[in-house]
Amino acid sequence: MKRILFFTVCFAGLVLTVCGQEAADYQKWMKTVAATSGSLRKNLDAKNGDAASADAKKLKEVFEQVHIFWNKKNVDDAMMSAMEASTAFGDLASQAAAGKFDDAAATLKKATVTCGGCHAAHREKAADGSWKIK
């Protein structure tokens, strides 16, 4: 009986540690998205195709991780939003590299709407003013 209790407590601790790490990773990704999106906008405005393309590629990679995160949680709408964002940023990277800045700006606008929908559905403001995943 003591062994079962011991292993149950150890397993619960492991699960809580993994879940806590996933939440920390998710917060890190969202902070990367915020910073990189700002850089991307500036680079598109300045018509700096190489830098805008690099920003978009970074965002594509982040949203691939976000997709995996939501897939593990079996949250289909968030998973699809992340995939749509990843695809959009991949397209944007190609557009920016080709100097198609109007197309890239339109793609960024579309991706931003996708992000906003997921935020509305899957995050809430905590009492301290921070945001947490629903």
pLDDT category, 3, cuts 50, 70, 90? low
pLDDT, greater one: 127 or 38 = 38
**pLDDT in the model for residue 94:** 98
**pLDDT tens digits for 97-114?**
999 999 999 999 999 999
pLDDT (0 to 100) of residue 4: 56
- Tokens 């790490």 belong to 21
Amino acid 11: pLDDT: 38
Contacts of 4 (CB under 8 A, 6+ apart): none
The pLDDT score that the predictor gives to residue 1 is 54
Q: How many CB atoms lie within 10 A of CB 48?
A: 16
Give me the residue spans of the domains in the chain: 20-133
- Tell which wins on pLDDT, 46 or 19: 46
Query: What residues contact 83, with CB distance under 8 A and at least 6 apart?
Result: 63, 67
Say yes or no to pLDDT of 9 above 90: no
Report the CATH number of the 20-133 domain. 1.20.120
Of residues 41 and 15, the one with the higher pLDDT is 41
pLDDT at 99: 98
pLDDT at 6 over 80: no
Is 0.85 surpassed by the pTM of this model? no
What pLDDT is recorded for position 21?
60
Structure tokens at 61: 């990679």
SS (H, E, C) the chain: CHHHHHHHHHHHHHHHHHHHHHHHHHHHHHHHHHHHHHHHHHHHHCCCHHHHHHHHHHHHHHHHHHHHHHHHCCCHHHHHHHHHHHHHHHHHHHHHHCCCHHHHHHHHHHHHHHHHHHHHHHEEECCCCCEEEC
